[in-house]
Homo-oligomer: A and B are copies of this chain.
Amino acid sequence: MIDGGALLKIPYGVYILSSFKDDKINAMIINSAMQVTAEPARIAVSVNKRSLTYEYILASGVFALMPLTEKIDFPFIGRFGFRSGRNFDKFAGVKYEKGVLGAPVVLENTTAVIEARADKNLDVGTHVIFAGEIKEARNICAAACLTYDYYRNVIKGKTPQGATHQ
């Protein structure tokens, strides 16, 4: 028996995950991210294989993870989480810069950026876990971070198709 309520006792943040391929950039919303080693610092993210960002991480071997701010407007999440970069430019009008490893770093509605080289990965079915060595981590602003719990219960946000939780 699997009680989904028991699974939701694991806390998550809500993040923009970005990458690039040649001169193209893309990003998506994820909540499954965690640090997995301290020395060297390494971070793991679980990414749906159907996503364009997954293809870009495979191509460039790089990703950037940015925790979102708690005070965020829903259209901003919708832009990154409920559209596909295959037919929509998610970065049009968004303030961003190129990170130290080449992935785009979103500078609005984000609190920090963690940039990693995705040098180890594990196929877990619908998703792949990328476990990357962190090359850069810095704060963008001091605002409170959005949690998955707050997103679900206060903002009443929906879960994108293909997420790690239903």
Contact = CB atoms under 8 A, between A and B. Distances in A.
Interface string A106-130: 0000011110000011111111010
| This chain: copies in complex | 2
- Name A's interface SS: strand
Contact of A126 (B38, B127, B134, B163): B38
A36 B46 contact: yes
Contact of A40 (B111, B125, B163): B125
20 contacts: A2-B134, A2-B137, A4-B137, A6-B112, A6-B114, A6-B138, A7-B134, A9-B67, A9-B111, A9-B112, A9-B145, A10-B13, A10-B43, A34-B164, A37-B124, A38-B126, A38-B163, A38-B166, A39-B166, A120-B124
